[in-house]
Amino acid sequence: MDLSSIPVIDSHCHPFDPSREDDDFRVYFNMSLWRPPTEVVVDTIVTRKLMRELGKFLGAPYGADQETIANVRNEQYKADPKGYTQKLFKSNNLETMLVDTGFPHEEFTGYSVDLKTFADLVPCKVYPIFRMAPTIFTIFKDPRATFEEAVDIMEKDMNKAIKQDKVVAMKSIIAYETGLAIRKWSKKDAQEAYDRFRKDKNRDDEKIVREYFVVMGLLACKENDLPMQFHTGLGSAPILNLLDSNPILMQDILADDDIKEVTVIITHSGYPFTTEAGYLCSVYPNCYCDVTAITPYTGPALKKAILSLLEFSPANRIMFGSDGVIIPETYWFGIKQGVKVLGDALGELVTADWITAREAVEFAEMILHKNAQKVYKL
Ligand SMILES: [Zn+2]
């Protein structure tokens, strides 16, 4: 099914600054934080397809090899970063981007990207997402802050994001830090854990403190009627432990009396734990998922991921996007191939007579933009 005429909302991606590209752009199609050498990426299905599509799109000579296409790309991008980015993005039906402004960030990458500057670079509407990690990092870095001061810093940053920056969601990457088996702790428990952790940096108390802050975020979302995105599934190796990032670990917190009204988004659909993600979306009324990051990085396996989400998840719980970062091709390829493969997946369901062609279009509209419009109140 050709879905290319349906408008797309990218419900989770990052801002980028063209002047910061400092490596062979193909190596960004890899999840490692240790930049792989080019030879690791040139022979993946994703890179092969990316380079062929890019070659066609940029007018490289027919049948050109990867190096020639890479040179054509680099020349065009370096000559006019904004023109190049706009050309790529306009070729998709991408209308809106929800941007996690906490990565890149000074604390982690040595620079941040201003949202206004980014909005000027791309031909789309842009809305910010508040990432909690930089604030938590600041708190953990300062050995003098008391627990009360730490809570105060968190509250101030969240308030600024909500009231001043008008974010459309908050985002937690606790999956990377102490995992998704989040418990709710009393202030007293958290305070004691914080004091012990400051002395000896032990992992058990770190977990309690981080979970306390995440629950603060969830409660702020509840009070302000905002959704909360959680990183789940695959992520940047080696800091992510995949065993701690299976979204099924969130069952207790999703069912908690204080939390169950907060809209929680399982970003990246917990890939490869997509059946689990779909199941959560089907049994917890507050639970949604998105296929961001699966779109640019898994190639044809995206079809399998979408079909496994749909084993349980209603189509009205699944959202779309790229998780694009650092280079424009991650967004462009994620959306372009993602829309195509979504069409393949829904087409397969029509052929097998599970849904009608009309229902497939209805599902596609929900996944590509309608669900995000509703969840993020766009
Ligand atoms: Zn992301």
Q: How many domains does the chain have?
A: 1
User: Residue 1 falls within a domain, yes or no?
Assistant: no
User: Residue 269 falls within a domain, yes or no?
Assistant: yes
Q: What is the pLDDT of residue 33?
A: 79
Query: What Rg do the C-alpha atoms of the chain give, in angstroms?
Result: 21
- Expressed in angstroms and rounded, the spacing between residue 235 Cα and the centre of ligand 1 is 9
Q: What is the pLDDT of residue 32?
A: 83
User: Residue 2 falls within a domain, yes or no?
Assistant: no
- The CATH code of the domain that includes 244 is 3.20.20.140
Interval 52-87: pLDDT, tens: 999 999 999 999 999 999 999 999 999 999 999 999
* Per-residue DSSP letter, 299: T
User: Residue 273 falls within a domain, yes or no?
Assistant: yes
Q: What is the pLDDT of residue 34?
A: 81
User: Residue 33 falls within a domain, yes or no?
Assistant: yes
User: Residue 352 falls within a domain, yes or no?
Assistant: yes
- Expressed in angstroms and rounded, the spacing between residue 104 Cα and the centre of ligand 1 is 10
Residue 215, burial from CB neighbour count under 10 angstroms (0-12, 13-18, 19+):
buried
User: Residue 200 falls within a domain, yes or no?
Assistant: yes
The residues near 49 (Cβ < 8 Å, ≥ 6 apart) are: 299, 337
Interval 127-175: pLDDT, tens: 999 999 999 999 988 877 899 999 999 999 999 999 999 999 999 999 9
The rounded percent of the chain whose pLDDT value lies above 90 is 92
- Expressed in angstroms and rounded, the spacing between residue 209 Cα and the centre of ligand 1 is 23
What is the spatial distance between Cα 318 and Cα 94, in angstroms, rounded to a whole number?
17
- Expressed in angstroms and rounded, the spacing between residue 325 Cα and the centre of ligand 1 is 8
Greatest Cα pair distance in the chain: 67
Q: What is the pLDDT of residue 299?
A: 87
Tokens 């766009």, located at residue: 378
User: Residue 244 falls within a domain, yes or no?
Assistant: yes
- Expressed in angstroms and rounded, the spacing between residue 295 Cα and the centre of ligand 1 is 12
Q: What is the pLDDT of residue 282?
A: 98
Q: What is the pLDDT of residue 53?
A: 97
- Expressed in angstroms and rounded, the spacing between residue 250 Cα and the centre of ligand 1 is 19
Measured between alpha carbons, how far is residue 233 from residues 13, 75, 105, 230, 275 in Å? 16, 36, 22, 10, 12
Q: What is the pLDDT of residue 122?
A: 98
- Expressed in angstroms and rounded, the spacing between residue 131 Cα and the centre of ligand 1 is 10
Q: What range does the domain containing 163 cover?
A: 8-375
Q: What is the mean pLDDT of the chain?
A: 96
Cis previous bond, 81, omega within 30: no
